[in-house]
Amino acid sequence: MRAAPTILHLDMDAFYASVEQASKPSLRGRAVIVGGLGPRGVVATASYEARRFGVHSAMPMGQARRLCPNGAYLIPRFSLYRQVSDVVMAMLRELSPLVEPLSLDEAFVDLEAGGVAFDSQSARETGERLRADIRAATSLSGSVGLAGSKMLAKVASEEAKPAGLLLIEPGTERELLAPMSVRTLPGVGPATGEHLRRAGITTVGELAEAGEDELVRMVGRSAGAGLYRMALGLDDRPVVAERDAKSVSVEDTFDVDLHDRVRIRGEVQRLADRCVQRLRGSGHSGRTIVLKVRRYDFSTLTRSETLRGPTDDPGVVREAAARLLEGVDTTGGVRLLGVGVTGLADYTQEDLFAQSLAAEPDGDAVTAEGEAEGAPEASGAPEATQPPGEPEPSPERRWTAGSDVRHAVYGPGWVQGSGVGRVTVRFERPGSEPGRVRTFRVDDPELEPSDPLPLVGAGDRSGPPEGTP
């Protein structure tokens, strides 16, 4: 514990949803829910307007739609979120060399190590200035907690939400924590919280009064000792600037269970390619390939294979994942597939060509690889042939709600919805007034998918303009 509140915790407010509201002016002040839009999708983030209806992260999307039927439901745009996150994290690194990112929208900062704060007054001034700078650069709000430890700084930022700042003066920790729910403490989830509630302990103050010996008896030595220290506000963990990645993985949950073995192989190949892209983007290679399969009955299987040396070769990862799949029974259907790489290293062993050929792929594996490269999916029906001289019909394009588009005449916009051969687009950009809605055929040649427009520099347009409902 420090004698001054020089550890800062920044948590951006409803980050994904706030980015969507800032980049789509017509959504300012409206309920916005970001997540998977399929029948098995879950909520990633809900705006504060949506939270008033009871919508929250990790909720099934179907339940969210029932609670908030008039909300705007959008797919995540991670490339834009990363751009905004990079700007915010760069601001934090201007304050101190010790910045510990926890996610795209959350980080600890050691203000003392940066020489910008040594007491309560300078810490508060730094926190307020940071919030103002983030608002000016991105039009987004963040909540700041300041305390003498990481745990308390995080508790403070949560209490400050939304768009606030809370500083916990050293010496006042126990008084502040005492009336709070035990669920406020890191690591106290629903199961532990319920176990404590049955013992008559619902607040942090009651947890401290129970004493270490009683808590050890209730939840075990390690957990009990840790709970007691947290209840007293004690936390000596330092801010760590870099966190070594232990694994890289990607996974997909399917709206409908997959039964076709060839289709399943093809999805594994695609996931392997995506995993390698993420692996290379992190500057790593890895030795162990992991396959994750969640079956129709929610049972989850994992299989792994360790290579002779680290690799970031997509062919090697694809073939290893295909071999692992051969040992998994997918009878009954598959609802989730994942491919990961562990045992990360900062270099790649180049002589892995022999390793790639160690197991010759069978015919099925070749088919799967062909699908990964864009070959058509296999099915039980014969392949349709086109009469000579007739142009092949182009497949109907899919337009997902929230995705970015550009029209040759009307410029940039985003998809509000699509169906029955039509797609509805609202044409607006960050910092503009709410734009106009137009409807097109889904195959309109003048409408194309687009990259997100940058949010940074759009100005502070945090609230809805005058007269906007």
- CA atoms of 441 and 421, how far apart (whole Å): 6
Encoded tokens for 41: 């999708």
Query: 3-class DSSP state for residue 37?
Result: coil
Choose the catalytic residue: 20, 49, 100, 106: 106
**Cβ neighbours around 321 below 10 Å, total:** 27
CB 361 within 8 A of CB 322: yes
Longest dimension (CA), the chain: 85
38 Cβ neighbours under 8 A, 6+ residues apart: 61, 255
Residue 106 annotated as catalytic: yes
What are the helix (H) ranges across 10-77? 15-23, 48-51, 61-67
Strands (E), 313-390: 334-345
Residue with tokens 């005492």: 178
The C-alpha torsion from 35 through 15 and 23 to 109, rounded to 10°, is: -150
C-alpha closest to that of 161 among 15, 54, 43, 19: 15
Strands (E), 244-349: 247-258, 285-295, 300-311, 334-345
- CA atoms of 210 and 199, how far apart (whole Å): 10
Question: How many alpha carbons lie under 13 Å from residue 97 in its C-beta half-sphere?
Answer: 2
Parallel, antiparallel, or unpaired: how do β-strands 247-258 and 334-345 relate? antiparallel
The sign of the CA dihedral 120, 124, 125, 126 is positive
Residues in the chain, total: 469
CB 322 within 8 A of CB 337: no
- CA atoms of 102 and 10, how far apart (whole Å): 10
- CA atoms of 289 and 280, how far apart (whole Å): 15
Sheet holding 106-110, edge to edge: 99-103, 106-110, 7-12, 142-147, 165-167
CB 208 within 8 A of CB 232: yes
How many contiguous H segments (helices) and E segments (strands) does the chain have? 15, 17
Looking at residue 181, what DSSP letter applies? B
C-alpha closest to that of 223 among 195, 199, 198, 250: 195
Catalytic positions are: 106
